[in-house]
Amino acid sequence: MTINDDGDLAGMLPGGLSKGALRGIVVLDITRVVAGPFCSMLLADLGATVIKIENPRDPDYARDFPPKLRAGSGEEFSGFFAQYNRNKFGLTIDLSTEDGADLLRKLVRRADVLVENFRPGTMDKLGVGYDVLRRENPRLVYTAISGYGQTGPYRRRPAYDNSAQATGGLWSMNGFPDRPPSRVGTIIGDLSATFYAVIGTLAALRESEKTGQGQLVDVSQQDSVLSLTENAVVSYTVDGKVPGPLGNEHPFVKPYELYPCKDGFVFFGGYTDKFWRLSCHLFGQPELADDPEIDTMAKRFDPEVYERRVRPLLHTWFEDKTKTELEEIVGDAVPLSAIKNIAEVVEDPQIAARDMVVDVEYPEFGELRMFGSPIKLGGTPAEPRGLAPKVGEHADTVLRALTDLDEESIALLREKGVI
């Protein structure tokens, strides 16, 4: 089995890709859990050939995360793992052995990108850090995702998503003023690092293609979270203010928050003068558009005016109507959105129109519905329907395509426990 003319293995995957914008780009994915796997998954959706490399004795422990798909035989496969590792080849390498480190060096010679999310220094200890691997392949883009980055006093600290939310400032700002701060309800530290890692990887790839020189892409979860804190940094550095939890309110834009309605809650953001005037007409009180106390945005931003006049008014507009009724009243005129749970989101017609919930058929396990790709390209669309590999599933295919190893050599590596 050999790599095709585009340098693309992905067409060999069950349900795999061969026409994406990143076709021909080979990515070695030495990551686990979310931040790294999600990064390489996005690249795979866009057509890159991604090879997930796991320790044969200690594979990605996200394989044990719920929910589980179950086969008739009793075998289980993690839906969580499947979602973040779709469209990838599976290979195992024990990098703690010299044979394993040597095998990775061989693979790097044919790769364009390597993604890892170990603590800084781990890959160096294994003899396969960036300085070593760039000698094997000067054009290699080496993307390292970590809790605190490759430099600085915290660089060797272990970290999880919550660590980044805590030290990046976001946790202190989230929640309600009269309660302890709350973490954001999703793994935003992991996810934000993912997005910056993809951006950095693509930028470095472009430079590598122009100059033949790769580089280190160093992405920190803490840095990524800090960049999501909106105006918090400048509020402190300019005005000396330390932002705290605001609940569902915005620090100065009003009305711009959650409001109760008959069957739940809606977000209403009709704060500009244009949207406010439209809202007054849509909800049957056009005279309020010219009320001298609330007729301008600056007046409505005043906390006292907002609490005394605007908030009670919105309650009267919304409280006796359902989410659907309110969305029908405003239509496309004013920003009002039903606050939906995941069950409602999965069945949402806009989500369906955008192909953001996709069905993937797993042999033995049946159908898995997962989120699709948010990256919509007109000419080379992302394809999120490929399968996630079983542990080491494609070892022979990958090693024959990307190294000069023959069947006997591969069998010897397997016998020694290297793969």
Q: What is the pLDDT of residues 244-292, one digit of tens each?
A: 998 998 888 999 999 999 999 999 999 999 999 999 999 999 999 999 9
Q: Nearest 5°: CA angle at 82, between 76 and 85?
A: 140
Cβ atoms within 10 Å, residue 96: 13
Amino acid at 390: K
| 320 CB-contact burial (10 Å; exposed 0-12 / middle 13-18 / buried 19+) | exposed
DSSP code at position 359: E
Mean pLDDT of 204-222: 98
CA distance 314 to 311: 5
pLDDT at residue 217, as a whole number: 98
Region 184-200 average pLDDT: 97
Total residue count of the chain as it appears in this document: 419
Is it the case that residue 1 has pLDDT exceeding 70?
A: no
Q: What is the mean pLDDT of residues 136-162?
A: 96
Model confidence at 242: pLDDT above 70: yes
pLDDT in tens, 340-397: 999 999 999 999 999 999 999 998 999 999 999 999 999 999 999 999 999 999 999 9
**For the residues 195-199, what does the mean pLDDT come to?**
98
Q: Is the pLDDT of residue 153 over 50?
A: yes
Write a three-state SS string for 62-99.
HHHCCCEEECCCCCEEEHHHHHHCCCEEEEECCCCCHH
How many angstroms separate the CA atoms of 214 and 141, rounded? 5
Hey, what's the torsion of the CAs at 147, 230, 41, 387, to 10 degrees? 110
Residue 43 CB coordination number (10 Å): 29
Alpha-carbon torsion angle 290, 292, 293, 295, nearest 10: 40
Cβ contacts of residue 31 below 8 Å, gap of 6+?
A: 37, 39, 40, 52, 60, 115, 116, 117, 145
Q: Would the pLDDT of 87 be above 50?
A: yes
Active site residue 190: yes
Alpha-carbon gap, residue 265 to 113, rounded angstroms = 45
Tokens of 324: 């659907």
Give me the catalytic one of 190, 273, 320, 348.
Answer: 190
Q: Residue 233: what pLDDT?
A: 95
pLDDT for 19: 80
